[in-house]
Amino acid sequence: MPTPFPYRSRRTIKPAQIDGARNIPRELLIEILEDAHWAPTHGLTQPWRFNVFVGAGRARLADALQSLYDRITPAGESRADKRAKLREGPLQAPVCIAVSAVVEPDGKISRLDELCATACAVEKLMLSAHQRGLGSFWSTPPVACHEAFAMWLGLDPRHAPMGLVYLGYAKPGVAPASSRVPLDERVTFHSA
């Protein structure tokens, strides 16, 4: 029997499960981003954009996320726990990457194609991180997917923010379990 694809062991490692004291060497981070950069892309538009926050940049990001949350959350819908989490994540993980996709309004490539290509880049990023012994978590809180966040990042309206990816080494003893429903519940073959 063939060996299972090694990426089946990748699991979500949330920021609270990441060892914030262990930095990721810049060279390693560049390798991971380069792997992501080779994602499939319709028309070779390469729509993904990564804004990488490390060091003190993470505190600036955390402050911005809370400030934007306060600004865009309707009155009466604000939750202290969600607001606190927006600050905690970037401060817990040594690397936080804001992901966006460039979508040309009148471009030959559809919005869906550009978003899917960017999602493929994020998956490649996470698999590359896993292969190198790092944990990852893709988070899509509404504030990190809002046009106000893209503006804060200095991006123009063509950019569709797609959330945050946290990277870091898992704390000792963190080994989340996972399972999948049987494959035949998700696949239908058509042969005639």
> What pLDDT was estimated at residue 117?
97
Mutual angle of helices 80-92 and 57-72, in 10-degree steps = 160
Mean pLDDT of the chain: 92
Which pLDDT score is estimated for 5?
64
Domains of the chain, each with CATH number or no CATH: 11-171 (3.40.109.10)
* 165 in Cβ contact with 99 (< 8 Å): yes
pLDDT digits (tens, 9 = 90+) for 125-143: 999 999 999 999 999 999 9
Name, in order, each residue with C-beta under 8 angstroms of 178's C-beta and a sequence gap of 6 or more: 11
The two beta strands, 48-54 and 95-102, are antiparallel
Confidence label for 107 from pLDDT (cuts 50, 70 and 90): confident
Which ranges in 17-167 belong to alpha helices (H)? 26-37, 57-72, 80-92, 111-131, 147-152
Lookup result for tokens 């399972």: 179
Average pLDDT over residues 42-53: 96
Percent of the chain with pLDDT over 70: 96
Residue pointed to by tokens 């029997």: 1
- pLDDT score at 2: 59
